[in-house]
Amino acid sequence: MAASEENSSLFPIFILTIMAIPIVPYTILRLCRAFTKKTKTIHCQCNVCSHSGKYQKSIFKRISNFSTCSNLTLLLLWVLMGILVYYIKHISREIQPFEPFSILGLEPGASDSEIKKAYRRLSILYHPDKNPDPEAHKYFVDFISKAYQALTDAISRENFEKYGHPDGRQGLQMGIALPQFLLKFDGVSGGVLLLSIVGVCILLPLLIAVIYLSRSAKYTGNYVMHQTLSTYYYFMKPSLAPSKVIDVFIKAAEYLEIPVRRSDDEPLQKLFLAVRSELNLDLKNIKTEQAKFWKQHPSLVKMELLIQAHLTRESTMLSSSLLNDYKQMLELAPRLLEELVKIAVMPRSPHGHGWLRPAIGIVELSQCIIQAVPLSARKATGGYPEGLAPFLQLPYFSESTVKKIARKKVRTFQELRDMTINDRVELLTQVAGLSALEARDVEYVLEMIPSIEVDITCETEGEEGIQEGDIVTMYAWVTLKRANGLIGALPHAPYYPFHKEENFWMLLADPVSNDVWISQKVNFMDEATAISGASKAIQETRESLGASVKEINVAVREAVEKVKNGSRLVMSKFQAPSEGSYNLTCFCLSDTWLGCDRKTSIKLKILKRSRAGTRGHVVEEGPTADEGIEEEEEEEEEEYDDYESEYSDDMDDEKDKKGKKANGVANKKAESSPEASGSDDD
């Protein structure tokens, strides 16, 4: 076989290999993600969510979900790989090794007479004197004559039978996986070859590196721009009011990049009139306030109006161009809010603590955005200590519906949840005026709303007590339960047009000093990761304490069983502060649901470090009275009517304190109602 033919066949194999190396693992990864995502799509079954279109599986929806740019590109590459495979297979059929016996139609080891007879028979068919076809002439000269010569010559036949080639033993043959025209080293082909080598080996990797570095320099690992983080860090204040969080949130660089068109002016003016009551404008100087509002950066004005349109459920009045910007704004919101929470709890104080007040305000804004509930609905009004917001996340509920059920003295969301199903259905149908089908949808949503329990322990590993300067380990088992028995599920959010997993922020904080000691996000969707993390943490802890292998295995099995039953282990360490008593509160806040947050109080008494090895530790459990979060700085106080967070005046109704001594362990389980001042559990 000629070297040129070998090179021509090697080039498509080389291209196929280069394409298959990234495409095959990428495709497997995409399929695994799609399968995992499919198993997690347990969502609300109410009619409102079904009619929202977010979970519909129509043919058009499936085609639109599949026909993305990345999917179509991947499909095109697979088609190209299939064409290459077919071409290579076709080439391999055409390029056959030189087999004299098979060419003459004989079995290996045939005699000389049989070889001559076969040659005469084929000569009659393909000899130029007998067959004028040029292809027959070429086949006779290139194959039949050469095969006859190879078998009639004694040395050639012996070499072929021994080594598979008439010329004897053949050395290793190597080819170049390049097109044939590049192997003709003349002026033009040499230049093309040189450019190809430079382009593939130098320019292409350099281009990929430049694109990657430019993108990584612009975005963080969570696909949030570095400029956004810098802006959030600059505007974050320890006394940031909940209603002012939105002013910081809309300053994200991603939102500033959304174009502001002249055609948007009129729709935004109409939208301003519809949501003006939610903009915290001073009604006494309304003209001045309006002028001040419109003097802001056009992108800030647009984003705030779009967010308020979502919170007040006025998105139907948006134009087509504004609707696209509105969806882009909502799609970016969860990851921006997550980064905003991280910046709020970032250690800044001299003791390395974050800020509680802005963190709570950010999580509450996240709840309102996912459920499309106005911030003003969180404000406590007469007879509604927690406001109307938790009720408005239920389907078919409005302010008038809440007022109707208030006649039966149902004024808190927890009171509605604590009712029996029969009593609740009777209340909704006979008092609230809902139909039986609508009442059933409300039941579906109430069954989806989680109940959270927190079992928290703080201790110094291997020591009898906690002294100032010790490294304290916090263990917290966060347990999620639903009335329908599910653990991981997508929340009821018919007004939020994208899939959103529910997350919980656990904050161990001192409400009086506004300090967050520990913060961590908890997710109940990925059970495998939770099992792995809990098993590793328990194993490392028990090994450090010198436990036996059997004890470690028992503890790991118990932890795995807890995770499978809907619990997640939150483990963190902090350095014990100076001597004194500290009234801490563990907040477990949902970023998706309203009215299901939980908190518990824990009082630690840190003793002065002693010179002796024996150390005492006094632990007191039970509800404590907090004096409230620090007053805002005077220069940041506003005259507008601001809503207060449900945790702003935490623990006003103080209950009797109960003291209990333990050996360096503070343990508290939170099963109280969302608005309880402290837990009644012992």
By the 8 A CB rule, do 492 and 328 touch?
Answer: no
pLDDT at 671: 42
Which amino acid is it at 456? I
At 618, the pLDDT band (50, 70, 90 cuts) reads very low
CB within 8 Å of 621: residues ≥ 6 apart: 602, 603, 658, 659, 660, 666, 667, 668, 682
Round to whole Å and give the CA distance between 316 and 658: 54
pLDDT over 70, % of the chain: 79
Give the per-residue pLDDT at 663.
38
Over 70: is that where the pLDDT of 257 sits? yes
Report residue 127 as tokens: 């000899």
Residue given tokens 């939208």 in the structure block: 271
- What pLDDT, on a 0 to 100 scale, did the predictor assign at position 635? 42
Give the lowest-confidence range in 203-217, 432-446, 505-519.
203-217
CB atoms within 10 A of CB 317: 12
Nearest to 157 by CA among 103, 101, 97: 101
Q: Which of residues 257 and 140 earns the better pLDDT score? A: 257
At 167 the pLDDT is 64
pLDDT per position as a tens digit, 2-54 = 444 455 567 778 788 888 888 898 888 888 776 655 444 577 778 888 777 66
Q: Which of 487-496, 500-509, 511-520 has the lowest mean pLDDT?
A: 487-496
Tokens of 12: 């498509």
Q: Which two tokens stand for residue 659?
A: 């003291």
551-606 pLDDT, tens digit per residue, is 999 999 999 999 999 999 999 999 999 988 999 999 999 999 999 999 888 988 88
Report DSSP state, residue 639: S
Strands 618-621, 598-606: pairing is antiparallel
Dmax over CA atoms of the chain, in Å, equals 120
pLDDT band, residue 170 (cuts 50/70/90): low
For all residues of the chain together, what is the average pLDDT? 80
Neighbouring residues of 456: CB distance < 8 A, sequence distance ≥ 6: 474, 475, 476, 477, 508, 586, 600, 602, 666, 667, 668, 669, 670
CA-to-CA dists, residue 515 to 362, 363, 366, 573, 630, angstroms: 16, 16, 21, 16, 10
Mean pLDDT of 432-436: 91
Give per-residue pLDDT as tens, 344-355. Answer: 999 987 888 999
Strand, coil or helix: 580: strand
Look at residue 346 and give its three-state secondary structure. coil
CB 365 within 8 Å of CB 337: yes
Query: Which pLDDT does position 116 carry in this prediction?
Result: 83
* Residue position matching structure tokens 């001073």: 282
Stretch among 51-65, 244-258, 497-511 having the lowest mean pLDDT: 51-65
Task: Decide the pairing of beta strands 658-659 and 618-621.
Answer: antiparallel
CA distance 674 to 387: 13
What is the full DSSP assignment across 374-424? -GGGGS-BTTBTT-SHHHHTSTT--HHHHHHHHTTT--SHHHHHHS-HHHH
Question: What is the pairing mode between strands 451-459 and 666-670?
Answer: antiparallel
Query: 627 falls in which pLDDT band (50, 70, 90)?
Result: very low
681: pLDDT strictly greater than 50: no
Q: Which of 287-312 are b and which e, b meaning 16 or more Cβ less than 10 Å from the residue's Cβ?
A: eebeeebeeeeebbbbbbbbbbbbbb
Q: Which residue has the higher pLDDT, 358 or 116?
A: 358
Q: How confident is the model at residue 164 (pLDDT cuts 50, 70, 90)?
A: low
Q: Which residue has the tokens 């590109």?
A: 73
Q: Average the pLDDT over 659-680 and give the result.
A: 41
pLDDT of residue 58: 47
Residue 355 to residues 351, 594, 610: CA-CA distances in angstroms? Answer: 12, 22, 32
Tell me which of 51-55, 158-162, 405-409, 629-633 is least confident. Answer: 629-633
pLDDT score, position 252: 94
Confidence of residue 307 (pLDDT cuts 50, 70, 90): very high
Element (H, E) at 619: strand 618-621
Of 129-133, 371-375, 404-408, 627-631, which gets the smallest average pLDDT?
627-631
pLDDT in tens, 259-305: 999 998 999 999 999 998 888 887 788 888 888 999 999 999 999 99
Average pLDDT over residues 335-359: 92
User: pLDDT tens across 81-101, in order?
Assistant: 888 888 877 765 555 566 777
